[in-house]
Structure 1
Amino acid sequence: DVDDVEAARDDIADELGVSTGRLRDLVEPLESIYAIADHCRTLAYMLGDGIVPSNVGTGYLARMVLRRTKRLCDEIGVDAPLDELVDVQAERLGYENRDTVRDIVRTEVEKYRETLERGTRQVERLADEYADRGEPIPLEEAIELYDSHGIQPDTVEEIAAEYGADVAIPDDFYSRVAARHGTGGGAETEERDDGDRVADLPETEKLFYEDPERTDFEAVVLDVIERDDGEYDVVLDQTMFYPEGGGQPADVGTLSTDDVTVSVTDVQEVDGVVLHRTNGTPGKGEFVRGQIDGTRRKRLMQHHTATHIVGYAARQVLGDHVRQAGAQKGTDSSRLDVRHYERVDREAVRRIERVANDVVTDNVPVEQEWPQRHEAEEEHGFDLYQGGIPPGEQVRLIHVDDDVQACGGTHVTRSGDVGVIRILSTERVQDGVERLTFAAGDAAIEATQRTEDALYEAADVLDVSPQEVPRTAERFFEEWKERGKRIEGLKEQLASVRAQGGDGTETVELGDAEAVVQRVDADMDELRATANALVEEGTVAVLGSGHDGATFVVAVPDGVDINAGAVVGELAGRVGGGGGGPPDFAQGGGPDVEALDDALAVAPEVLRRLEEEA
């Protein structure tokens, strides 16, 4: 092991009788070649095992390695595309998803190229700014440049030197960058202080695993815990109420005795004990009848099973690298976040939806089993844990067709019970993570009806059939754009005519120059266009408008020593406002439209005075 690489190089150079610089010129290209080969092997492992480059966790490490490899290739002039180099390693390692690996590398290289173009301009701006201040570029700026734009620290040093600025890059630079991103990406878990309250209570028997379609049950109240907010946490010996978890909301319903009925508004689990949040309290030791909201439970079950099916379909369509990054189930819609290296387009959405609904129409059984954890992992691998790793020696597995996942949620008994699945939208929630929002069962039908209602409303407005709406909307949009161009052209013509003078126009001689003072009751765009037309003729423009308050535009051609900002400042002050700008073009105004003409009347005097003072 070598503690100081530079010192070791000095020693080797002395032994060989060459300068350290000469040794570096000989050795560094070889070091880069070995590094490229090693990095390509690392990328083959990471991408082949399903890691997708992103801005969080292992995805960010993959992106860092890929960009560093690309930079090394560029530095020593490697002509072969990076995806081909990684593919050589992927082939040797026996990966079957080599086409996907190459697609990911190509996509990332293109992103890196675009990022570099934007980032280099940012480095130049920062270097110029800190050079003017006589200060070094802060380390945080260098980290941000690498993090957001992929600009390597030595590139920052080179550009900074060109502008006369310094930047200190520490040896642990890349470790500091990686530390920014950690391995997160999941939701933070709130620490609970409920553990002490339930420490002496037995675990609650969960009846919803035995019969998820059942909505009523009987139980004994083991304890009632009063909360600080005036509500209660009721503990039962057994329950049909599903506690919030795994992205699935809690069940709601009621608990009843012969004397009282209380509403269950939330359900949580702490150390195996299920807490039923209620607005009243049954007595401790009493028998209660529980009733859950069956319609809500059914819709949640449909959406939870649909989440598994959509995830399976996404892997079939997009590739085996697709992994779940998060999920949230609901009664009207649900969302599934998946790791993928590019946007999911409309054609991919249709294919995912088709595969998902094929599973539904096959009406396969949705089965559960409780194997030992090590047995489940040996048989199915760690792909089981799409929704996270559950605790315990045993894990509950849910089988839907060829899909197997560890899951603690409630599910329908057959895939056909999901009804139908509609993917409503897709969005990129962060680089490398795509969100699929979908609806299942009755919610999917309702979503389809809402879309159809909107289509028919649009058809009525356009007075065409629903099938003709897209073509008609496109035609109207093109006509609107064309009319916009015609309007802009007419405005320019109008500005040119106004610039030639007319009623209310005053010409002011200013030495070798001439100024036009004119009221033009038009919007700001027309004022600017008129001013530009005058300046092109070598004329100073002082224009006022009462179109939206009292506004002024002053433009000064090259070679005329009058400050446009000073003129606007004086005129705008007379209408109760202010304004300013650079010496050649300024604008401003105020609320007093009635004072506009008086302000324009003194404009010639203001121009002459400013000319004399210049």
Structure 2
Amino acid sequence: METAEIRRRFLDHFERNGHTVVPSASLISPDPSLLFTVAGMVPFIPYLTGQQAAPYPRATSVQKCIRTGDIDEVGKTTRHGTFFQMNGNFSFGDYFKEGAISYAWDLITRSQADGGYGFDPAKIWVTVYHDDDEAAALWKRIADLPDERIQRRGLIDNYWHTGQAGPGGPCSEIYVDRGPEYGPDGGPVVDEDRFLEIWNLVFMQEEITDVKAKDDFVVVGELPAKNIDTGMGMERVSYLLQGVDNMYEIDQVYPVIERASDLAGKRYGKTHEDDVRMRVVADHIRSSLMLIGDGVTPSNEGRGYVLRRLLRRSVRAMRLLGFEDRALPELLPVSRDAMKAAYPELESDFARISTIAYAEEDTFRKTLQTGTQIFDLAADQTKQRGAVTLAGETAFKLHDTYGFPIDLTLEMAAEQGLSVDQDEFRRLMTEQRERAKADARAKKTGHADMSAYRELRDAGPTPFTGYEELSTDTRVRGLIRDGVSIPVAQEGDIVELILDRTPFYAESGGQDSDAGLITADGTELEVLDVQRPIKGLIVHRVRVRKGELLSGQEVLAQVDPEWRIGACQAHSGTHVVHAALREVLGPQALQSGSYNKPGYLRLDFAWGQSLGQETRSEVEEAANLGIRRNLPVSATYMPLEKAKEIGALALFGETYDEEVRVVEMGGEWSRELCGGTHVQRSSQIGLVTLTGESSVGAGTRRVEAFVGIEGFRYLAKERTLVSQLADTLNVQPEQLPERVSRLVGQVREAEKKLAQMQRAAAQAQAAELSAGAKNLEGMRFVAHQAPSGTSADDLRTLVLDIRGRLGEAEPSTVVGAAVGENGRPVVVVATNQRARDHGIRAGELVKAAAQTLGGGGGGKDDVAQGGGSDASKVTDALGRVEHLVGDVAARRS
């Protein structure tokens, strides 16, 4: 049974039983304490905790999930993967244990001909929480399971929570006996390879906090209602029903292994080491495909860093398999074809997805080249010291700074007869992880910190009146300081304020929050920021300028009208620029992020190369022509599915309700899902002036622009600058390009002549220095302290010229030169062949000189370069070189 069919049967089963089918939420978690959606229940947390009333009593979904905590174990076992799909059914205060068990048993044991999965009831085992007598009795009554196939376990195995503060509860897990060839008998308490868990039924009834471990947390109390949250592992059910041994061999994954095997010329199943690498490739390619599909782009932090790591591990694994060409163009389309039956959007969006992925591979291939050069230098220095172990610090630097995988470092070290100090590497990695964890804890705003907000949210959501008015009479619902509700705020205090209703726009959808004042008799508050810490609740961060503020007080909330005009212009301008990009570049130039505030906007979009000046001008013109057409701007609420049907564009990574707001400019020219504030007609934007375009990650570009009066001011500054240049050069503005070009040509010609003169002077100097070489016990030695202004390249050229004049044959010759330019001294040493025959190495001499300069260096035996930080020691450094050469000469004589 194909995985897409398993998915269809699951959703059909629960829809027939009164459940609302809910589409998968984005892999990007709305919970600020989670990078990704890690479980099927994450999108339903507000309903399970009672923060919000559920819009339906029963729901079912197939949720996309990512977990990367065990990323290093992927492929090593057949149980670890990063992307997975969780089939779930949910009850929000409706049915409880009996219903959950009945629905699960019916689906898994009903025959395939009748729409079920057809598992043999005699091979089903279950576990329950150790004191859950009710669940055990229900399994006996509903499924007629004997006592020996109902096993009891403790908190670690049969209590479920996300690992964060929030909802939790005892659970009952369903296992399938795969047979004696997979392990010993005795049920899941004996062996979980033979007895494979496929479904976890969570009886969610408690709210927990202070989560330290799976079995170490504090129960806050009972949830407002008893809920059901179940999770069936799609991949596990797939490989059982498809008759294969593990998740890597199912129809959605194995085609990538087959293609990787063909490309590398390695047979899957022959060696464990190669099998691990092929499984890493298949898992990470699929995970990357799904992440980019949901709007994640590679970067050096957060979600983007995880994606970058997945992609680079894939490329690295292919390299270790022996395939060194571009791998992703060969593998990503295979994963797309395997997944598109379940996720058809992957095919329609593949141009954008592949552009981002392929650009990241190209970047990594360059990184590998750079890292290889750094590794080679470190390996040479290690061997020169007579050591056989590469420093762990070097391996860590390659990994952390250059993205060079440790496995590749180990492999290359072994090829050169070296080992790596892995203990030191692991110590440094551990220190880095601890720093990252501490930082994450400091930034975390999970459910444990939300109690004060939840209490205020229980009174209902905060209505936003700002679409219709800028001034609203309202009442203070609550005040919060440092996460705790307070009754009063005094003059000078900065507090968080919740109103019964508000005209202030909370930062979201790329639009900055509104500014303005909140006033009452004798009280004035300055609004500093407006946010939505939990869904439906608008929180104002305010400074009490004068008077005092009481909870329950009547106030007047007033948005700064100039601020709002600028905000509307900027947000509408963002839509216009997005439409212009798609008009000029094509539909694949989709927005992936944005930020706008009065007078300014930036927009990130999918594109794999820099925009030339001509293309930028086209985009700017298309945007301003749209503005000049005075297009009507409208906002309409409609079901999400209808919005998709009419082609409304959604921002990647955003989570949308079933009812959405669609903003249109000129109909389909610009049609986007958006909750922001906008002008009424496009001409009110005034002007869009593009000021910059840059890369913000593989396959993603960013444009920036000034809008409205700020756009005019930017152009006015440029006009003034042009006028000043024209006056300085005594030409008309339109003649500036020609005049500047002519001046640049003259400067280049002058620089060329100067360089010729400098070379002639250097040659003359080289001849003079060669003639003045010292005789050190039969060895020739030249030392030269170059004048300030001499570049490192010029210094190197001079040294090689002198050595060339003195020749490679007898006698032994060493040439050293140094310069102390700008406090950053440089030293270069060269030796001829005869000197090297006598054991004199340029790299060793430079190392000694550089240490005198307070730095380091090295290089080849014939020529080497180093530097330091103490320019006052240049003479001493050259003296050190002469002393070492003299010692060798004295020993020879």
TM over 0.5: yes
Identify which range, 375-384 or 432-441, moves more after superposition: 375-384
Counterpart check, 1:326 vs 2:590 = no
Match of residue 559 from structure 2: 292
Say whether the 8 Å CA contact 1:244–1:268 is kept in structure 2. yes
SS in 2 for 1:304: helix
Match of residue 112 from structure 2: none
Q: CA deviation at 1:115?
A: 6.0
Say whether the 8 Å CA contact 1:53–1:63 is kept in structure 2. no
Match of residue 20 from structure 1: none
Q: Distance in 1 between matches of 2:401 and 2:821?
A: 48
Match of residue 216 from structure 1: 471
- 1:246 corresponds, among 496, 499, 509, to 509
Number of corresponding residues = 563
SS in 2 for 1:321: coil
SS in 2 for 1:408: coil
Match of residue 663 from structure 2: 398
Q: CA deviation at 1:335?
A: 0.9
Say whether the 8 Å CA contact 1:535–1:555 is kept in structure 2. no
Say whether the 8 Å CA contact 1:52–1:341 is kept in structure 2. no
SS in 1 for 2:530: strand
Match of residue 612 from structure 1: 890
Q: Distance in 2 between matches of 1:569 and 1:157?
A: 30
Q: CA deviation at 1:369?
A: 2.0
Q: Distance in 2 between matches of 1:290 and 1:77?
A: 62
Q: Which letter maps to 2:245?
A: V
Q: CA deviation at 1:286?
A: 4.8
Query: After superposition, where does 1:246-325 map in structure 2 within 5 Å?
Result: 246-270=509-533, 271-275=536-540, 277-279=542-544, 280-281=546-547, 284=550, 286-325=553-592
Q: Distance in 2 between matches of 1:385 and 1:587?
A: 50
Q: CA deviation at 1:221?
A: 4.0
Identify which range, 472-481 or 109-118, moves more after superposition: 109-118
Match of residue 206 from structure 1: 464
Q: Distance in 1 between matches of 2:654 and 2:248?
A: 42
Q: Distance in 2 between matches of 1:542 and 1:111?
A: 39
Match of residue 804 from structure 2: 536
Q: CA deviation at 1:300?
A: 0.8
Q: Distance in 2 between matches of 1:66 and 1:331?
A: 43
Uncovered stretches (5+) of structure 2, i.e. residues with no partner? 1-243, 250-264, 421-432, 434-442, 480-485, 807-812
Query: After superposition, where does 1:77-92 map in structure 2 within 5 Å?
Result: none
Deviations along 1:520-566, one digit per CA (max 9) or x if unpaired, are 75544476665544333327667798998998978564235789888
SS in 1 for 2:720: helix
Deviations along 1:306-347, one digit per CA (max 9) or x if unpaired, are 112222222333333333322111223111112223333333
Q: Distance in 1 between matches of 2:635 and 2:525?
A: 33
Counterpart check, 1:163 vs 2:416 = yes
Say whether the 8 Å CA contact 2:395–2:409 is kept in structure 1. no
- 1:415 corresponds, among 675, 679, 682, to 682
Deviations along 1:256-287, one digit per CA (max 9) or x if unpaired, are 33434333333334542443513145554554
Q: Distance in 1 between matches of 2:310 and 2:585?
A: 19
SS in 2 for 1:397: strand
Say whether the 8 Å CA contact 1:550–1:590 is kept in structure 2. yes
Match of residue 171 from structure 1: none
Change (3 A) 1:607 1:381: closer
Match of residue 388 from structure 1: 654
Query: After superposition, where does 1:204-603 map in structure 2 within 5 Å?
Result: 204-211=462-469, 215-224=470-479, 225=486, 226=488, 230-270=493-533, 271-275=536-540, 277-279=542-544, 280-281=546-547, 284=550, 286-373=553-640, 375-377=641-643, 379-380=645-646, 383-386=649-652, 388-390=654-656, 392-400=657-665, 401-402=667-668, 403-501=670-768, 508-514=774-780, 523-525=789-791, 531-538=799-806, 557-558=831-832, 559-560=834-835, 591=872
Q: CA deviation at 1:195?
A: 0.8
Say whether the 8 Å CA contact 2:584–2:619 is kept in structure 1. yes
Say whether the 8 Å CA contact 2:778–2:889 is kept in structure 1. no
Q: CA deviation at 1:436?
A: 1.2
- TM, length-normalised to structure 1: 0.68
Q: Which letter maps to 2:462?
A: T
SS in 2 for 1:363: coil
SS in 2 for 1:445: helix
Q: CA deviation at 1:508?
A: 4.2
Q: Distance in 2 between matches of 1:210 and 1:370?
A: 15
SS in 2 for 1:344: coil
Q: Which letter maps to 1:218?
A: D
Q: Distance in 1 between matches of 2:395 and 2:878?
A: 49
Say whether the 8 Å CA contact 2:504–2:513 is kept in structure 1. yes
Uncovered stretches (5+) of structure 1, i.e. residues with no partner? 7-22, 168-179, 181-187
Say whether the 8 Å CA contact 1:243–1:267 is kept in structure 2. yes
Change (3 A) 1:292 1:541: same
Q: Distance in 2 between matches of 1:165 and 1:513?
A: 36
Change (3 A) 1:495 1:457: same
Q: Distance in 1 between matches of 2:377 and 2:847?
A: 31
Q: Which letter maps to 1:208?
A: G
SS in 2 for 1:209: coil
* Higher share in strand: 2
Say whether the 8 Å CA contact 2:571–2:596 is kept in structure 1. yes
Q: Distance in 1 between matches of 2:795 and 2:588?
A: 57
Change (3 A) 1:507 1:68: closer
Change (3 A) 1:196 1:353: same
Change (3 A) 1:517 1:366: closer
Say whether the 8 Å CA contact 1:201–1:273 is kept in structure 2. no
SS in 1 for 2:739: helix
Match of residue 184 from structure 1: none
Deviations along 1:100-123, one digit per CA (max 9) or x if unpaired, are 899789867866765665566577
Change (3 A) 1:470 1:58: farther
Q: CA deviation at 1:303?
A: 0.5
Change (3 A) 1:475 1:601: same
Deviations along 1:357-399, one digit per CA (max 9) or x if unpaired, are 23222222211122344x5455347843457124x55322222
Change (3 A) 1:536 1:123: closer
SS in 2 for 1:241: coil
Say whether the 8 Å CA contact 2:511–2:596 is kept in structure 1. yes
Change (3 A) 1:476 1:380: same
Q: CA deviation at 1:606?
A: 10
Change (3 A) 1:59 1:298: same
Identify which range, 323-332 or 105-114, moves more after superposition: 105-114
Identify which range, 232-241 or 578-587, moves more after superposition: 578-587
Q: Which letter maps to 1:537?
A: R
Say whether the 8 Å CA contact 1:234–1:281 is kept in structure 2. no
Q: CA deviation at 1:304?
A: 0.8
